């Protein structure tokens, strides 16, 4: 499926007309599809290549080494999560993946120093931690610009999201879907789900497999061209906008049998706000035709609820 392609460079050009045109294009795409491909996104290609090399090196480590980086009590929010630990909301079947998560880092003077656990350093790969830190900041910046455009589309002040995402609880997740060695119980590597956060930025996966569910209830494959990233709406933004912007259901399917021997790598950045941000539906998105669909809650309360639903938190 050719999802809409938007050019973030148009928005960053600074002209009022270009910024408005980009915001309209992005907002309409998120109302209709929930997914876009973004070019001129500002995340350097050499940084993405470094990140992928380090991710592949990490998942190539022996299992006993990787297990040293799985930290009990962190609900998978930092470090390694072993194969089959996570499942989609409403599904008991574990997803066929392992992953490593890197979170927000703040200065020692920050009021949030106690809120965020430290990231888990990987000693076997010298450039691992630095490449994750640099990538995290690049994704954070790109995502911030996209949220500015979304705010303009919604008729909000363009800096509406700036304070909530400053030192926000975003997560950079490196996912490995290992080779398939036995006849799988289903054709699905990651069961259908919606993302929890505001928006998700995904740099090109190493193999095909991502599918989205259309309004016509059809599953269609989605890929981005080289130099593009895929960015989709998460449940927090859908909730905030009272379903105006769509958090589209998606999944990852198994490759053709001839490619079972191959791994699939994917690196999404889940852009979260601070835990205290209110997700109460915007008044401007509520009317007689679209009454308020969700009770008020904060981003932190919603995240805790969803982590329990997907099996990462007790």
Tokens of 205: 């996966």
Rounded to two decimals, what is the model's pTM?
0.92
Closest CA relative to residue 122, chosen from 64, 89, 80: 80
> In the chain, which residues have pLDDT < 70?
1, 84-95, 184-187, 189-190, 204-207, 310-314
pLDDT computed for residue 88 by the predictor: 54
Q: What is the mean pLDDT of the chain?
A: 90
- In CATH, the architecture of 5-309 is Sandwich (2.60)
Strands 35-39 and 5-7, how do they pair? parallel
Terminal C-alpha separation, the chain: 38
Looking up tokens 């609820």, which residue turns up? 305
pLDDT computed for residue 205 by the predictor: 61
pLDDT computed for residue 207 by the predictor: 55
pLDDT computed for residue 264 by the predictor: 87
Query: CA 19, 145, 294, 246 torsion: positive or negative?
Result: positive
H helix runs in the chain, sequence order: 8-12, 16-32, 45-59, 63-67, 128-153, 162-165, 235-240, 299-309
What are the percentages of helix, strand and coil residues in the chain, rounded to 5? 30, 20, 50
Q: Please say whether the beta carbons of 10 and 225 come within 8 A.
A: no
H helix runs in 156-218, sequence order: 162-165
């Amino acid at each position: 499926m050719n999802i809409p392609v938007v050019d973030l460079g148009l928005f960053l050009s600074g002209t009022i007309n270009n910024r408005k045109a980009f915001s309209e294009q992005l907002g309409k795409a998120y109302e209709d599809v929930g997914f876009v491909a973004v070019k001129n996104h500002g995340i350097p290609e050499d940084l993405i290549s470094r990140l992928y090399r380090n991710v592949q090196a990490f998942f190539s480590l022996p299992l006993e080494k990787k297990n040293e980086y799985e930290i009990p009590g962190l609900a998978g929010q930092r470090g390694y999560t072993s194969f089959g630990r996570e499942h989609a909301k409403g599904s008991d079947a574990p997803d066929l993946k392992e992953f490593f998560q890197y979170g927000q880092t703040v200065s020692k003077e920050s009021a949030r120093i106690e809120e965020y656990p430290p990231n888990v350093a990987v000693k076997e790969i010298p450039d691992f931690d630095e490449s994750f830190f640099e990538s995290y900041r690049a994704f954070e910046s790109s995502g911030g610009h996209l949220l500015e455009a979304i705010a303009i589309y919604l008729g909000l002040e363009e800096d509406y999201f700036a304070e909530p995402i400053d030192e926000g609880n975003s997560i950079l997740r490196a996912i490995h879907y290992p080779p398939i060695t036995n006849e799988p119980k289903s054709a699905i590597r990651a069961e259908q789900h919606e993302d929890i956060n505001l928006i998700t930025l995904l740099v090109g996966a190493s193999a095909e497999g991502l599918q989205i569910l259309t309004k016509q209830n059809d599953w269609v494959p989605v890929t981005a061209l080289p130099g593009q990233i895929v960015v989709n709406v998460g449940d927090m933004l859908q909730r905030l906008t009272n379903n105006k912007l769509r958090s589209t259901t998606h999944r990852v399917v198994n490759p053709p049998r001839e490619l079972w021997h191959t791994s699939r790598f994917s690196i999404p950045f889940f852009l979260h706000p601070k835990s205290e941000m209110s997700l109460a539906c915007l008044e401007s998105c509520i009317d007689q035709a679209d009454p308020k669909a969700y009770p008020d809650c904060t981003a932190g309360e919603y995240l805790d609820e969803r982590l329990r639903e997907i099996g990462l938190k007790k």
